[in-house]
Structure formats: C-alpha cells, structure tokens
Structure 1
Amino acid sequence: MKTHRDLDVWHIAIELAENIYVLTREFPNQEIYGLVSQIRRSAVSISANLAEVGARNTRKEFLQFLYYARASSSELDTLLEIAKRPNMAEQGKIK
C-alpha cells in the first residue's frame, strides 16, 4: 500500500460520507446543529481515520487508526438508529 487511496475501504467510506450528506439534507432544520452535525462528523471521521492508516509506519499505529475508524462506524450506526426512532428520516432510506 502506497497511500490511503489504495485502500478499497477508504473509497467505500468516502461514498458513505457522500450518501450521509445527501440523506441528512432531509432531516428537520432544528437538527442541523445537533444530530445532523454528529452524523456527518462521524461519517467523515471513518474515511479520515482510514486516511491516517495509510500514513502510519508501525503496525501498532496502523491498527490504532483502524480501531478509530471502526469506533466511528459504530458511532454512526448508533446515531442513525437514533434518527430512525422519531421518524426524522424515512425508514427505507436508513439501512
């Protein structure tokens, strides 16, 4: 691996972040600075941490940022579950 751009998972994470931005445009305006902001930050954090993976020299650092990306993924999953509860987004759009 030369850079993070060589990681298929990084490209998937970028696409996920793009889809999250599209989805959250449909959320209520009162959530822009609350849940929407948190959802977007966690989605972006996944790809950002994967980019850091490509810049690390040791296995320990490499794994650490993979764990950070996984944690951000779990955070995003939780936030999307919360978003489904009060029907802020159409049920079929969040999977």
Structure 2
Amino acid sequence: MRKGSIKSHEDLEVYQVAFGTAMKIFELSKKFPVEERYALTDQMRRSSRSVCANLAEAWRRRRYAAAFVAKLNDCEAETAETQTWIKFAVKCNYLDIESGRELYATYNQVLGSLVSMINNPSVWVIEK
C-alpha cells in the first residue's frame, strides 16, 4: 500500500499484521493454565496489544520525526517483549513449537517493517 492511499494507522500493513497476530495470541492464550492468568497470559496479551496501540500513537505523531520515531521505538520494544513471552509459552509447553515459530516469525516481519519506518521517517512524516 502506497503512503498516499493510507488514511489511518489501520491502513498500514504492519498494523494489520500486528493486530491479527495479537488476536491469535488472545485465542491461543485462552488455553493457558489458570495459574498463568495474571502472569504469562496477561503479559503476552498486553505486549502484543501494545504493539498496535503504539503504532496508532506513532501515526498520530507524524508531525515531528523525533516523536514519530520515539513511538515506533516503543513499538519495536513491545514486539521484542512479545517474542520473549512466546518463547516462554513454548518452553512451558503452553504453545506447541510450530505455533510458537509461526508467531515469532510474524513478529520478525513486524520488526522488519518497524525498523524500515524508523530508518526512513521522512517517508511517513507530515510535510509542513
């Protein structure tokens, strides 16, 4: 999707991928043990949702490159955090290895898009 055809953060492919993956995590984590409700389950859901929320905030901060990039950096950090929780879920046998690999790889794709946006903010920043 070209920049010109993007009207909101929801039009960004990276947002759509992150949102869809956060919803997959929500569904998969419903099967996690009850004792993980306020630990791994909660953390994993929060960080995956935060990727999307920070993208939305970054989109609205495009008037200033530094503010835009700072929010994208938060997004990048939340993505890496989510990958860490995915690894824990696999190691604890709450997620099967294949599901974990798929989720992790999708977040690598998200990271690639975020890094590209961070390295090229002028493409996205609103011109004055």
Alignment TM class, shorter chain as reference: over 0.9
Distance 2:96 2:32 in 1: 9
C-alpha RMSD of the superposition: 1.2
8 Å contact kept, 1:23–1:93: no
Match of 1:32 among 37, 59, 84: 37
Match of 1:21 among 19, 23, 26: 26
Amino acid at match of 1:17: A
Q: Which residue of 2 aligns with 1:68?
A: 74
Q: How many residues align?
A: 95
Match of 2:94 among 80, 88, 94: 88
TM-score, scaled to structure 2: 0.70
Unaligned runs of 5+ residues in structure 1 are none
Distance 1:76 1:62 in 2: 21
Off by >6 Å, runs of 4+ in structure 1: none
TM-score, scaled to structure 1: 0.92
Structure label with greater radius of gyration: 2
Distance 2:10 2:95 in 1: 32
8 Å contact kept, 1:53–1:61: yes
Between stretches 36-45 and 56-65, larger displacement belongs to 56-65
Amino acid at match of 1:82: F
Amino acid at match of 1:53: A
